[in-house]
Amino acid sequence: MHHKGTISLQTERLLLRRFVPEDAGAMYANWASDAAVTEFLTWPPHASVDVTRQVLESWIASYERADFYTWALELRQTGQLIGSISVTRLREDIDCAELGYCMGTKWWGQGLMPEAGRAVVRFLFDEVGCNRVAAVHAVGNPKSGRCMQKIGMRYEGTLRQAGFCNQGVIDEVWYSILREEYAASAAPPISAPEGPAPSDEGAVSASR
């Protein structure tokens, strides 16, 4: 892979950019302090904006690395910060990136996270040279599976009691898209056994 670092990306409605220290207040208020957002994540709601500042300090320092990818999601029309999307794990041996994301509940159900995800997938294939982009969600959070489908990923399988989140030990549901599928505009992805959900903005992340 040819790492480029977290560079700005743009979609019809969103600017994907690096976080800056001044984002702490909006991040805390809009999603990081919300138990509904973190229900199926691996980190608890931030107890104070100071926790959010510490997390941002770590991320901002990591932007010096070419293989660190964490974007703030900003609405282009208003400049409002609404969530984040990250590469939570890289597998250099197989050219694979795993994604995680979360967004404030106020913006769920508007197709914004799939829009961001498609931009990141395009960047990872076209610019970084990934062969596989994957994501995982807790079996009890099918909304994230719907989001993954809209990004273009296919359901791969469910690993029993293979993960842990704020709900405890959970079954993991895996999705992915391969370079050849991306290049060929793959057919509609296979649905997971739990079926579709009415919203597509569920949160999934392995990062703070």
**In this predicted structure, what is the pLDDT of residue 124?**
97
Measured from the Cβ of residue 179, the count of other Cβ atoms closer than 10 Å reads: 16
**In this predicted structure, what is the pLDDT of residue 203?**
61
d(CA 81, CA 150): 22
User: Quick check: 196 pLDDT over 70?
Assistant: no
Mean predicted confidence (pLDDT) in 195-206: 50
Q: For the segment 158-179, what is each residue's pLDDT rounded down to a tens digit?
A: 999 999 999 999 999 999 999 9
Q: What is the CATH number of domain 9-183?
A: 3.40.630.30
- With CA atoms as reference, report the closest residue to 152 among 116, 112, 187: 187
DSSP string, 110-141: SSHHHHHHHHHHHHIIIII--SEEEEEEETT-
Residue with tokens 């694979």: 96
pLDDT over 70 for what percent of the chain? 88
Res. 184 pLDDT band, cuts 50 70 90: confident
Domain regions of the chain by residue span: 9-183
